[in-house]
Amino acid sequence: MINILKKLLDFIYYKNCYFCHKSDENSVFCSDCYNSIKFLPYKPIFTIGHIKVFSVTYYKNITQKLIRAVKFHNKKQLTFFQAKLMYEYWQKLNINEKNYTVIPVPTYSIKLRKRKFNHMNLICKHFCDLTNFSLDTTSLIRNRYTKPLYSLSKSEREKNLKGAFTLLNKNLNSPILLIDDISTTGTTLKEIISTLKQNGINNITCFVTAIAKTN
């Protein structure tokens, strides 16, 4: 009877890979799909002023599906894997600093209510658990609604995001590691960097899961 119950539970809770749908590993992210993600070179993908921006990979294929699954389809269980990818890439960088304060790019409150959870906060929590960095999810806020950026030109993005972020705590421990899931033109990161610099914070590094190839 116990064996029958165990088999029934295994059947009910058995996991398929979200990406290829195979069940061989009983995982939502199988090793074949995970290992298919190719890392970018271990150097800044671009800079904003003197601020370095690193990206794990390009926004395509499995990575695109991963980010969209977390961001739009409520797949919380995949946030750990997104953080793990970032951690594995980060470990390869020649960065000696060990005491970053991690700040996720904030989401506006209306979007949070629709999404039901803060995906960037959760990704950054997993990342900080792996790195032992400090996590700060309250000092930086998005103070108003902004339009989705994918349909906007670069100049429209800049206008859309101008003044959209507020730093509540001006005594942040630096250095700061600013983390986002995707960057296309760098406009969001640029606006946050400007907000931080206006408050005397200059020791900043940016890190994203993926970069759009149009950048």
pLDDT tens-place string over residues 24-79? 899 999 999 999 999 999 999 999 999 999 999 999 999 999 999 999 999 999 99
14 contact partners, CB below 8 Å, separation of at least 6: 23, 26
| 42 and 32 fall within a common domain | no
| 21 and 117 fall within a common domain | no
pLDDT of residue 159: 73
DSSP code, position 78: G
Rounded to 5°, angle at Cα 16 from 15 and 18: 120
pLDDT in tens, 6-22: 443 344 445 899 999 99
Cα 87 to chain centroid, rounded: 11
Helix axes 61-72, 119-131, angle to 10 degrees: 120
Q: Are 199 and 167 in contact (CB under 8 A)?
A: yes
pLDDT of residue 2: 52
* pTM summary value: 0.88
> Which residue type sits at 206?
C
| 137 and 180 fall within a common domain | yes
| 64 and 151 fall within a common domain | yes
| 25 and 52 fall within a common domain | no
| 70 and 18 fall within a common domain | no
| 168 and 119 fall within a common domain | yes
| 179 and 195 fall within a common domain | yes
Domain that holds residue 65: 37-211
Q: Are 149 and 184 in contact (CB under 8 A)?
A: yes
| 19 and 74 fall within a common domain | no
Number of domains in the chain: 2
Q: CATH code at 86?
A: 3.40.50
| 113 and 191 fall within a common domain | yes
